[in-house]
Amino acid sequence: MSEINDMSRRDLIELGVAGAAVAMASPAAMAQSRAGSSDGDKPVGFAIVGLGKLSQGQLLPGLTRTKNAKLTGLVSGDPAKAARLAVQYNVPAKSVYSYETYDRIIRDPAIEVVYIVLPNNMHAEYTIRALKAGKHVLCEKPMATTVADSEAMIAAAKAADRKLMIAYRCHYEPTNLAAMRRIRSGGIGKPRTVWTDMSRQANFSDPSDAWRVSKEMSGTGALADMGVYGINAARYLLNEEPIEVRAWASTDRSDPRFKEVEDLVSWQFRFPSGAIANGSTAFNSNGGMGFQVAGEKGRVVADPGCLYGGNRLTFGAPNGKTVEITEIDQFAREMDWMADVVRGRAPMVAPGEEGLQDMRLIDAIMQSIARDGATIKTDWGYKRAVDPAAVVDV
Q: Examine residue 333 and tell whether it contacts ligand NDP (CB under 6 A).
A: no
Q: What's the CA gap between 130 and 126, in Å, rounded?
A: 6
Q: What's the CA gap between 46 and 17, in Å, rounded?
A: 24
Q: Examine residue 129 and tell whether it contacts ligand NDP (CB under 6 A).
A: no
Q: Examine residue 232 and tell whether it contacts ligand NDP (CB under 6 A).
A: no
Q: Examine residue 167 and tell whether it contacts ligand NDP (CB under 6 A).
A: yes
Q: How does DSSP assign 136-203, residue by residue?
A: EEEEESS--SSHHHHHHHHHHHHHHT--EEEE-GGGG-HHHHHHHHHHHTTTT-SEEEEEEEEEEE--
Region 94-123 residues binding ligand NDP, contact defined as CB under 6 A: 117-120
CB of 251 to ligand NDP, least distance (A): 20
Helices (H), the chain: 3-14, 20-23, 27-34, 53-54, 60-62, 79-88, 123-132, 147-160, 174-184, 207-210, 215-218, 222, 228-238, 330-342, 352-370, 388-391
Q: What's the CA gap between 166 and 57, in Å, rounded?
A: 19
Q: What's the CA gap between 240 and 389, in Å, rounded?
A: 13
Given the residues 99, 141, 163, 236, the one annotated as active site: 141
Residue closer to ligand NDP by CB (options 34, 169) is 169
Q: 272 to each of 19, 244, 252, 385, 393, how far by Cα in Å?
A: 44, 9, 35, 17, 28
CB of 125 to ligand NDP, least distance (A): 11
Q: Examine residue 9 and tell whether it contacts ligand NDP (CB under 6 A).
A: no
CB of 334 to ligand NDP, least distance (A): 8
Residue closer to ligand NDP by CB (options 9, 212) is 212
Q: Examine residue 125 and tell whether it contacts ligand NDP (CB under 6 A).
A: no
CB of 204 to ligand NDP, least distance (A): 13
Instruction: Establish whether 141 is a catalytic residue.
Output: yes
CB of 296 to ligand NDP, least distance (A): 33
Q: What number of chain residues touch ligand NDP (CB under 6 A)?
A: 21
Instruction: Establish whether 229 is a catalytic residue.
Output: yes
Given the residues 97, 126, 168, 229, the one annotated as active site: 229
Q: Examine residue 141 and tell whether it contacts ligand NDP (CB under 6 A).
A: yes
Region 174-213 residues binding ligand NDP, contact defined as CB under 6 A: 208, 211
Q: Examine residue 216 and tell whether it contacts ligand NDP (CB under 6 A).
A: no
Q: Examine residue 54 and tell whether it contacts ligand NDP (CB under 6 A).
A: yes
Region 264-283 residues binding ligand NDP, contact defined as CB under 6 A: none
- Residues near ligand NDP (CB under 6 A): 50-55, 76-78, 81, 117-120, 140-141, 167, 169, 208, 211, 225
